[in-house]
Amino acid sequence: MSPPPEVIRPGVWGRDAALPPLGLIPAGSFSVPEVLAAKAREGAPVHVVFPVGDAREAANLKNLLAILAPLAGTVIDRVWLAFGGRRVGGLPRLAAAYPGVELFVARQAWPPDQDDATAGKGATMRAVLHHLIRTAGVTHPGAVVQFIDADIRPAYFSPRWVLDPVGAVLWFQAVEAAKVVYHRPRGGRLNALLRAFLAQCPGEEIQSLQKLVYLLSGEIAASLRFWTALPFKSGYGIETLTLLSLAANRLQLAPGTPDLAHMVQVYLGQMDHRHAPVASTPSRRGLDQMAANICHCLREFFQGEGLMAGGAARPAPSLQIPLPPTRGAVPEWLTAPVGEATLAPLGTLPDIRAVFPGGARP
């Protein structure tokens, strides 16, 4: 059985310490002056990105941006609203209202190997990273890019959501990524499903992922070196594939050490956000479709690692969802495709390699 994560306190461990995989950093571990000093020492910019799937999230985003405003221009160089939908709504006005905030519309700037067929959360994240490198000129391997979900309820949010994870990446020489973790007073249903599955999976590295307080958090700060080495899922499977890729050492972040030794978790207490319905409808995706795509990602990964038989070739899977009847006395049915595109690491694209050599840290 995997032991609980080891608690890491920066003042005790020191900047050059070899950290235990998935060590846990408590909230409040880094002050603004400490983060600014580390940022100046590394010469690395910090970019915060909110992936936005629906322009109706603008009202909630306005509150989150106001909370982060004291860090703008000091700890945070720029904030991006990375929009993956079709109608931007009030997002341009929201971006214009805050200095240092920019709107990125993914459908207007897909990387050369992406198009509308790969639209989704992960595809939008990958697209904004490509834009940062190719268009915004962010090429420092140690530049920190943090993704934060746009639907966090403001009562649970604070500048700590940036200070502590960004501070961990800038402060510790071994840390390439810091994943925000928390407890949810309500919800976390897919997280519970994934934890139950991982408990039964082969391999110590996969088992060790259970040390994470929260598996499917969408908030992670990481170096550009990390982001360009990571394969992406086009949709909600991005968090699952990130964890599995680290456990399988697919990123090769540093010679001679496992990838998980270069990621810490930062515990920030409680979090809640807008809840998805359990069951999908024709107009709204529910937890059933999200769970199906996570399971598909897991199956793909284990087949790729040779840990699960592939079986005979078969058509792409689909999810059959019963809907409340609208006519007659029997349910109607919704058929939803299962599976998301897997996108190669950005570091493999020729236009990225031309300006960002990347590679493992020496």
Secondary structure (H, E, C), the chain: CCCCCCECCHHHHCCCCCCCCCCEEECCCCCHHHHHHHHHHHCCCEEEEEEECCHHHHHHHHHHHHHHHHHECCCECEEEEEECCCCCCCHHHHHHCCCCEEEEEHHHCCCCCCCHHHCCHHHHHHHHHHHHHHCCCCCCCCCEEEECCCCECHHHCCCHHHHHHHHHHHHCCCCCEEEEEEECCCCCHHHHHHHHHHCCCCCHHHHHHHHCCCCCCCCEEEEHHHHHHCCEECCCCHHHHHHHHHHCCCCCCCCCCCHHHHEEEEEEEECCECCCCCCCECCECCHHHHHHHHHHHHHHHHHHCCCCCCCCCCCCCEEEEEECCCCCCCCEEEEEECCCCEECCHHHCHHHHCCCCCCCCC
CA distance 238 to 32: 30
What's this model's pTM, rounded to 2 decimal places? 0.95
Burial class of residue 21, CB neighbours in 10 A (0-12, 13-18, 19+): buried
CB 110 within 8 A of CB 127: yes
Mean pLDDT to the nearest integer, 27-51: 97
Look at residue 314 in the predicted model and tell me its pLDDT.
Answer: 63
Mean pLDDT to the nearest integer, 264-273: 96
Q: Which residue has the tokens 């983060």?
A: 35
Look at residue 285 in the predicted model and tell me its pLDDT.
Answer: 85
CA distance 207 to 121: 26
High-pLDDT (> 70) share of the chain, %: 96
Give every CB contact of residue 236 below 8 A, 6+ residues apart in sequence: 120, 121, 122, 290, 293, 294, 340
| Confidence category of residue 68, pLDDT binned at 50, 70, 90 | very high
Give every CB contact of residue 233 below 8 A, 6+ residues apart in sequence: 120, 122, 240, 241, 293, 297, 340, 341, 342, 343
At 283, list the tokens: 């107009």
> Does 201 have pLDDT greater than 90?
no
- Quick: pLDDT tens for 129-151: 999 999 999 999 999 999 999 99
> Does 343 have pLDDT greater than 80?
yes
| Confidence category of residue 277, pLDDT binned at 50, 70, 90 | confident
Look at residue 35 in the predicted model and tell me its pLDDT.
Answer: 98
Which amino acid, one-letter code, is at 55? A
Mean pLDDT to the nearest integer, 92-106: 97
| pLDDT greater at residue 203 or residue 356 | 356
Mean pLDDT to the nearest integer, 241-266: 95
High-pLDDT (> 90) share of the chain, %: 75
CA distance 163 to 202: 36
Nearest to 174 by CA among 253, 98, 95: 253
Which domains does the chain show, CATH number per domain?
Answer: 23-277+340-351 (3.90.550.10)
* CA-atom Rg of the chain in angstroms: 20
Q: What CA dihedral angle connects 319, 324, 328 and 333, to 10 degrees?
A: -10
The sheet carrying 46-52 orders its strands as 24-26, 263-270, 177-183, 220-223, 144-147, 46-52, 78-83, 101-105
At 77, list the tokens: 């160089």
Look at residue 316 in the predicted model and tell me its pLDDT.
Answer: 75
Mean pLDDT to the nearest integer, 316-320: 87
- Quick: pLDDT tens for 226-238: 999 999 999 999 9
> Does 102 have pLDDT greater than 60?
yes
CA distance 184 to 271: 5
Look at residue 95 in the predicted model and tell me its pLDDT.
Answer: 97
Mean pLDDT to the nearest integer, 308-324: 76
Window from 19-28, 216-225, 245-254, 307-316 with minimum mean pLDDT: 307-316
Q: List C-alpha distances in Å: 216 to 59, 84, 244, 275.
A: 24, 20, 12, 14
Nearest to 282 by CA among 338, 340, 334, 318: 334
